[in-house]
Amino acid sequence: MTQIENKLESLGLVLPPPVAMPSGVVLPFPWVRIVGQRALISGHGPQHADGSLAEPLGKVGRELTLEEGYEAARLTALGMLGSLKRALGDLDRITAWVRVFGMVNAAPGFDRMPAVINGFSDLILTLYGPEVGAHARSAVGLAELPFDIPVEIEAEVEIRD
C-alpha cells in the first residue's frame, strides 16, 4: 500500500468507486485528464462509499448546515482521490496540489463558502501535508449545482512519472 493509502486506512476512510450517475445521464468527458506533468480533475460532488451521490442534497444555509456542507466537501475529496487513484494508479505520484475551485450550492444570504470548502482542503492537507497539499483555492456560491448536490469541486495536481 502507498503512503497516502496507509493514511486513509489509518483514518478509517475509504475511496468510493466511480460515481453512479442517475439513469440516462451521459458525461462526455473524463474525470481526470492527464496533460504532461499535470492532472486536471473535473468537478466532483460528494459520494457515499458505494459510489452513489451522498445526501443530504440541497442548498447550504437552507437544507444543509455549514457542518453538513463541510462534510459534503470532505466526501468530495474522497471521490476525487478515488478518481485520481484510478487514473494514476498511485496517489503518491502527486507532487503538488496546485489549484482547487470549490462551488457551493448556496441559499440566498449564505456567505460562508470558504468554511464549507475547508472540508476538502483540510482532508487534503491532512493526507499530503503542507508542502504537497497546499493549494491555491477559490470558494464561490452558486444558485444551483447539478442534481442538487451541495458542493462541486474541481482541481489540478502536479504528478511525477
Burial of 158 by CB count in 10 Å (0-12 exposed, 13-18 middle, 19+ buried)? middle
pLDDT of residue 28: 92
In this structure, are residues 98 and 136 in contact, taking their beta carbons and an 8 Å threshold?
Answer: yes
The tens digit of pLDDT for each residue in 4-17 reads: 999 999 999 999 99
Closest CA to 31 of 12, 11, 51: 51
Domains of the chain by residue range:
39-159
Domain 39-159 is of which CATH architecture?
2-Layer Sandwich (3.30)
- As a whole number of Å, the CA-based R_g of the chain is 15
Which pLDDT score, from 0 to 100, does residue 23 have?
A: 87
Phi and psi of 59, rounded to 5°? Answer: -90, 135
The ranges of the chain with pLDDT < 50 are none
C-alpha distance across the termini of the chain, in Å: 18
Bridge partner list, 155: 41, 100
pLDDT digits (tens, 9 = 90+) for 84-103: 999 999 999 999 999 999 99
Check residue 22 and give its pLDDT: 82
Yes or no: say if 16 and 48 are a contact pair by the CB < 8 Å rule. yes
Give the pTM: 0.96
Residue 56, Cβ density class (10 Å: 0-12 exposed, 13-18 middle, ≥19 buried)? middle
pLDDT at 29: 94
pLDDT of residue 21: 84
The residues near 113 (Cβ < 8 Å, ≥ 6 apart) are 102, 104, 106, 139, 140, 141
Residues in the chain: 161
Q: Would you state the pLDDT for residue 88?
A: 98
pLDDT at residue 46, as a whole number: 98
